[in-house]
Amino acid sequence: VKMGTRFQSLLAFLLSCLIFISAASSSEQKGDGTLRIGLKKRKLDRANRLASQLFLKNRGSWSPKDYFRLNDANSDIVPLKNYLDAQYYGEITIGTPPQKFTAIFDTGSSNLWVPSSNCYFSIACYFHSKYKARDSSTYKRNGKPASIRYGTGAISGYFSNDDVKVGGLVIKDQEFIEATSEPGITFLLAKFDGILGLGFKEIAVGNSTPVWYNMVEKGLVKEPIFSFWLNRNPEDPEGGQIVFGGVDPKHFKGEHTYVPVTRKGYWQFDMGDLNIAGKPTGYCANGCSAIADSGTSLLTGPSTVITMINHAIGAVGIASQECKTVIGQYGQTMLDSLVSQVDPRKVCSQIGLCGFDGTHSVSMGIKSVVEDGVSSLLNEAMCSACEMASVWMQSELSQNQTQERILAYAAELCDHIPNPNQQSAVDCERVSSMPIVTFTIGGKPFDLSPQDVRLLILKMFVRALLITFNLFLGQYIFKIGDGVQAQCTSGFTAMDIPPPRGPLWILGDIFMGPYHTVFDYGKTRVGFAKAT
């Protein structure tokens, strides 16, 4: 009895921490062959920020390599993105009669999954809608096991087939996953029930045919394209819109800039250099890869450039002793090499901190002798720090800075290296003076601004206390609260994907909000235009 009471109390407490959203979603099928799905907007508040921090702290064995293991044969691993901060989701139904679910429309994955009525031992399942196969007359047993692994656990279950309705379109006999096990807090506090993947089939778990593929192959849409508009208007309860089969011209202005998909799986494309306050970083001067990802609200990039952004906006980072050691012992030598026009990729190998495989630096596991005479391996962080410092110095050299200033700048950046996969705190008083960050895509500039936009006041119950928050959302700065209670964090996070798949940028809702995004499946390209 005591155990049952405690369990009920736990559920009651967790329920009190959930955020209730009143905005409604809608769908509209037009005579032009397009389907328009209204999206709900997930408000940012202290509860989901705390849960996000707990998730990041406990994400365990996850590494950047996990983001690409789906491209390997016989692998069922999908990246767990920061879904807890995903702000936009819509409604779908499964079965006959229809069973309603909320789902993230995620261009960073390719499977459809929802909680199963056979999910008994995951608390998250008790707070979300569950699919009941026995209640659907169109259900078809499949039974193929499915497991999508994450750093903090795994969503596992089995495949089933049933009719899936997205807006006014019915996709008959769609294969999807009934999740019988879900990880802890990540999905416990999520507003959405499941995920509808819109990536390519190449990354679909179990070689399942994605919902979008069936829409196209069964002739349910006029054109093989879909587009996202994420509403940034703080006074409008409508979260946004996804259009299957076309675009809505009232949600963008001008022409879209299109770039070809370079690697099927994710919607991956090439981008040019990134500028901070109009000054090139040089890191992507020879090109970087990027992914347009509707499943995360953040914007993720290489630590080298995120550190430069952190410095420019005053974000708190991790003071790196390895970085300071590299600058102190090898800084002048590195600078002399760069001045003599040595390839920046070879500088660290010349001074013995890294190897060089012909295209990029690699850690060599260099031996050193400590004071007690015990031989030890230098951490690969020394090689990484050297690589970052080389890019920083080259960037400053290109701007004709003095050698003294270049070395001082590199030393300053050592205090702004981001904590991997976590957001960095910034001073709320400085937001209005923070720089424009510009991405180059298809040879054209795409600016991101920190400027605050005031959102609606959010009221929520936490532990039976009614708390009122003033909520703000900038283009790349999140601000919660007001006055002395205000907290601001950068929307930029660091993740290092090694070559040949990286360096890589993941452009989430922070980027897709200001820029209307078209995913052109027919011509395998992605397009961006200024959203309206």
Task: Give the residue numbers marked as catalytic.
Answer: 106, 293
Q: How far apart are CA 409 and CA 386, in angstroms?
A: 14
Find out whether 253 and 224 touch, Cβ atoms under 8 Å. no
User: Which candidate, 243, 291, 298, 247, places its Cα nearest to that of 448?
Assistant: 298
Structure tokens at 206: 């179990």
End-to-end CA distance of the chain: 57
Find out whether 317 and 426 touch, Cβ atoms under 8 Å. no
Find out whether 282 and 492 touch, Cβ atoms under 8 Å. no
Enumerate long-range contacts of 338-347, CB under 8 Å, 24 or more apart.
338/390, 338/393, 338/394, 338/397, 339/397, 339/403, 344/390, 344/391, 344/394, 345/390, 347/386, 347/390
Residue found under tokens 């509707």: 294
Helix, strand, coil % (nearest 5) of the chain?
Answer: 25, 35, 40
Regarding beta strands 492-494 and 299-301, do their DSSP bridges make them parallel or antiparallel, or are they unpaired?
parallel
Amino acid identity at 299? L
For 291, residues 6+ apart whose C-beta sits below 8 A from its C-beta are: 108, 266, 267, 268, 269, 504, 505, 506, 507
User: Which candidate, 116, 114, 106, 101, places its Cα nearest to that of 80?
Assistant: 106
For 405, residues 6+ apart whose C-beta sits below 8 A from its C-beta are: 396
Dihedral, 71, 72, 75, 77 alpha carbons, nearest 10 = -50
Q: How far apart are CA 199 and CA 212, in angstroms?
A: 9
Find out whether 234 and 455 touch, Cβ atoms under 8 Å. yes
Q: How far apart are CA 150 and CA 152, in angstroms?
A: 5
For 333, residues 6+ apart whose C-beta sits below 8 A from its C-beta are: 351
Q: Is the dihedral of CA 189, 192, 198, 201 positive or negative?
A: positive
Q: How far apart are CA 480 and CA 475, in angstroms?
A: 14
User: Which candidate, 84, 126, 444, 106, places its Cα nearest to that of 273?
Assistant: 444
Q: Tell me the DSSP string of 155-211.
A: EEEEEEEEEEEETTEEEEEEEEEEEEE--SHHHHS-S-SEEEE-S-GGG-GGGPPPH
Residue found under tokens 């070879």: 346
Q: How far apart are CA 112 and CA 78, in angstroms?
A: 13
